[in-house]
Structure 1
């Protein structure tokens, strides 16, 4: 039988309230718990996630405070046998990598290196070319960043991912016939973001035989923000083992080559909280002036929904305004929700992914947002009060 363990840390020291943890969720030594209302909801969410294949969960909540913001970070379960999840535990974040790729695009636009409506073909070396659709306009960088390029989700010859070279990327484009016209419809595409990541890597770290996406992210985003745990995937000692079934581990994702911009990073809860806060404009970093631009709508989203697209972020206006991005690999699922009007965010990372896990993680993140975000008007818990 699995047992749950929760460690809670706050960026601002709070008083430990007695009786905040039930018998099933004993805090790890050194934990600091600041609010029983929030903890109750977080424990419920973690319990539901750990009922599936995941053995460990990290949950970070960013909330407003008189000094700007503070972050509560919860840790449950184990990331490797006998090793409890804690502040250093890393998870594969899969498609949440795309918001980092979107941020690189915003930096390139802000610095005058590209325009959103530059044709993709401008950045593909001859004799290769971007695919086209009969009678339609050319594919643009805006299309890649908003899933409206017409490219399918996965390119041919994608596996093994760590051997998908830039030459394979160009050859795949040469041989592709677009199923829809660029800009015409929303079609989720790892391929599009992998291509965008490779284009931006060449812009920020030019002249390399293979795209240096990891270096571009480190030098321009994670390094300046002190996000040392957010990196291109490697088998670090803190990386959670991925699980596809209960008690059945699976392969690591290792999307580390020319498609890395679509899903190649690993991270931890503290780093993802920093990223969420900076994206909402919180903090003194110059990036807190830049990253909020990735939340501006620049294209329509999926048909018959109220979704619009920022740069990788999915934007919604009902029942209140929020931004969303999730991630999934062979054996990890993640979800991040932002409520920028309230400077509130939640991110969930865990090491399980079966047929239901992606939906469960997404639903649990939305549940915490609805229950705890001050935008909902609940007026309860440390997610609301200062």
Structure 2
């Protein structure tokens, strides 16, 4: 039997760590005993991944001021990693998301004859059409998580495979709300609002207080409602501080991690734009998407925006199926009003809720594939080429 390939990987942030962990499942099923190293997080570590740096070192928020403050450290890591990989060459390098970090690294490695795979097509269909040429230079193959992406990449001469979205298999088609509520100490009759202000420190600084102020207004309108927020362990203390600053105090239940249990348990979620919104859609939950960032970052992003939607559920459904309140529109009052509309609809079991669940069920079905196996098969073909 041939030895397993030598694999290097880089995953940025919590969502990339989750995707990379699932990819490692497929690679290790294909090649028992496979080892991988590079940059990763706890999900990858559970699969035996050797992290030379933790993925949180790559986590940034926005395009300008936040990035500039961290740029020296991030570029230093990339320089050291590039040198290490060129000296001790892997059979394949897999960049998982984090395109600002990974695509440049992939281009250098590919130019040196190392095969490169990029997992998660950068959202050239939403924000950054200018990245197409960079993807073509950087990746031998792109693993796509949305069904329309391979045809789009093929128009630009980029090889790609649709592998489905891993979260569509992790999250059950019919979530067990009763079990999730029992896990969190909630009762079936409780009205529950989940608050997800992001998993990065800069996101929490920009968004959490805003969301908590909106939740305080919701609490005034519905005094019996239960408010719950899942916190990344490193950010729990900061979230507790912001909760008290908003006046919520002990009215907010903060749990460490458990974001999937929180989404399964809630009636409605107030949620920051990002991968978590797709998770909420897969849990079939009504949501209000909100987001704020540094004004200069927002100005730069707006100039690159190609679609009217920001939230992934709306982009994939190509419709404003859930409200988006972004930047100046994201006020506590507006977020509260949109949240109360969903809570009222849930309380009356309205047709609006039924229609939303049907849209999200169809979305879920379109994203379900055997992602670990399909991704591993695609990588095996690349290595055999």
> When the two structures are superposed, what TM-score results if normalisation uses the length of structure 1?
0.30
- Structure possessing the higher relative contact order (Cα contacts under 8 Å, 6 or more residues apart): 1
In terms of fraction of residues, the more helix-rich structure is 2
